[in-house]
Amino acid sequence: MPTLPWTVPNPAPPGSEAHVFASRFETRTLWGAFRFLARTPGVWWQVSRAPGAYGASLKAEPFKRTFWTLSAWESPAALKDFARSGTHAPTSRGLAAQMRDAKFVTWQVPGDDLPLDWTEAFRRLT
């Protein structure tokens, strides 16, 4: 699966701050990676319409069983609302047993720095 490009549901207002969230998931099995992939379109659709989402991207290496997300949000609360609602909530619960490892990081950037570059996310996730 190629990288899903940076999608902008809601442009960040000029002069605003963005709450960045990056994650790395590794599934236990190849079957778990395929389950992750099968559920990606629903979550991607949700994030593309999420209130407070300034942008998001996904990188996938399913044959290495590894996935990365990178997103920017209006606030930690907007990210939390997204994670606990819609398709994301049951998807994350349903895939939890498939995960071998997961790592999450957050930081702040000026909204004018969007879209984000993967370089900083990879640095923070390793």
Please compute Rg for the chain using Cα positions: 14
**Cα–Cα dist 22/61, whole Å:** 16
Residue 62, pLDDT > 80, answer yes
pLDDT in the model for residue 1: 53
How much is the pTM?
A: 0.93
What are residue 60's DSSP bridge partners? 67
pLDDT in the model for residue 70: 98
**In the CATH scheme, what is the code of domain 4-70+79-125?**
3.30.70.100
List the chain domain ranges: 4-70+79-125
Nearest to 88 by CA among 120, 117, 119, 45: 45
105: CB partners within 8 A, 6+ apart:
21, 22, 23, 121, 124, 125
pLDDT digits over 103-114, tens only? 999 999 999 999
pLDDT in the model for residue 108: 98
Looking at every residue in the chain, the average pLDDT score rounds to 95
